[in-house]
A = this chain, B = another copy of it.
Amino acid sequence: MDTKNPNPAYGAHLEPFHGIPTFMRRPASRELEGIDAAIVGVPFDSGTSYRSGTRFGPRKIREASLLLWGFNAVLGVAPVDALEIVDYGDVEVIPVDISATMGAITTEVGAILEQGVTVVSLGGDHSITLPLLRAHAARFGPLAVIHFDSHPDTWKSEFREHPYSHGTPFRRALEEELIDTDAYVQVGIRGPVSASHDLEDARQLGAQMLTIDRAFEMGILGVVEAIRDAVGDRPAYVSLDIDSVDPAYAPGTGTPEVGGFTSYQMLQLVRGLQGLNLVGYDLVEVSPPYDHSDITAILAANLTFEFLSLLALTKRKEGQ
C-alpha cells in the first residue's frame, strides 16, 4: 500500500483511465507539513490576446499526468517517491478581475512558500507569472529567471493602456525588480512582433534573449550552457510558456507561433537545468479547447515531471 497516498479513491496503483485525476495521483490536500512541493493550478484565462481556454489547463494537465508512470529513466529518479508532493488544487481566480486575481495568487502562493514548500504552478495564461514572481521574490529576493517562450511578454501595455495581461508580465516584473537582470534568459523568441523595437526593448530591460534562430545555431546543448552560465547558483525561477514549442507539438495554446522547438528539444532544455538552484516553476498557456487528443497537455505533464525530477535530484543530493 502506498502510505503516501492513503486515500484509495486516488488509486496510485491504478491504470491511467481509473479514478479521480489529481496530479500524478498525489493527495488533494492543503496540509503542507513535511511537504516538499505543491502542485497549484491557476486557471485564469482573461489575460490572453487571442484564444481563451487556458482556464481548463490545470485540470487537463492533471488528467494527462496519470500517464506518467513514475520513474524518470533518463535522470534516474522517481520524483513522487523522492519528494513529498501534494496537489493543492487551484487558486480561486476571478475572470473579470485581474487585479483581485493577481492579489489572490501572490497571497496564496506566498503562504505556501512560507512553509518551505516549492510551488509548481500550472496555468492559465502568462499573466499569472507576475503575481507568482512577486510571491517568489518576496521570499527569495530578485530571481534568476529562465523564460521559455515564443514572445518576450515585455510589452509596455496591451489592451490599450492596461498594464496587466499575458503580454506584459515580464516588463512589470522587471520594473518591480523581481528579476535579477544579470540572470534573465529568454529562450525561443520568434515570430512577428508589434514594433521594430520590441525585441530591443526586451534586451534593454535586461533580458538575455536567445531567439529561436540563435538557439538553433547554438544547438540545444549550447543553449543549456548559456542558461547555466547566466544563472549560476542564483535562486532560479522557470517560466515555461508552452508556445515556445512548435504548434505541431503543442497546438493547444492561445497564441501559437510556428517555427518552434520540438518536444524532444524542450525535454532536453528542461533536463539541462539539472543542479541549478530551482526555487519556482510555472507552465502556462495550455488551452485544452484547442488541443487535440491531449498532446499538448501530455507534453505539459511530462515537462512538469522533468522539473519535479530535478527537484528530486537536488533533494537526494542534499540528503547525502
Contacts and interface: CB of A to CB of B under 8 A. Distances in A.
Total copies of the chain: 6
A90 B19 CA distance: 5
Contacts of A196: 71, 73, 76, 78
A212 B249 CA distance: 17
Interface string A5-34: 001111100111111111000001110000
A116 to B, nearest CB: 19
A123 interface: no
A123 to B, nearest CB: 13
A319 interface: no
A30 B15 contact: no
A182 B262 CA distance: 34
A165 interface: yes
A30 B191 CA distance: 30
Contacts of A93: 18
Given A7-B30, A17-B50, A94-B159, A260 B264 contact: yes
Interface stretch (A95-103, A129-137, A138-146, A229-237): A95-103
Contacts of A258: 249, 263-264, 267, 295, 298-299, 302
B194 A15 contact: no
Interface string A189-208: 01111111011000000000
Contacts of A317: none
Contacts of A249: 246-248, 258
A48 interface: yes
A153 interface: no
Nearest to A213: B74
B50 A16 contact: yes
Given A17-B55, A89-B19, A95-B46, A69 B193 contact: yes
Given A50-B67, A247-B293, A18 B30 contact: no
Interface centre among A17, A73, A198 (most CB of B within 10 A): A17
Contacts of A67: 50, 255-256
A272 interface: no
Interface in A27-49: 28-30, 41, 43, 45-49
Contact of A49 (B15, B51, B193, B199): B15
B251 A292 contact: yes
22 contacts: A9-B22, A10-B28, A10-B89, A16-B49, A17-B51, A17-B55, A18-B41, A18-B92, A18-B93, A20-B87, A21-B21, A59-B63, A67-B256, A70-B193, A71-B192, A92-B160, A94-B160, A94-B162, A96-B162, A246-B264, A248-B295, A289-B290
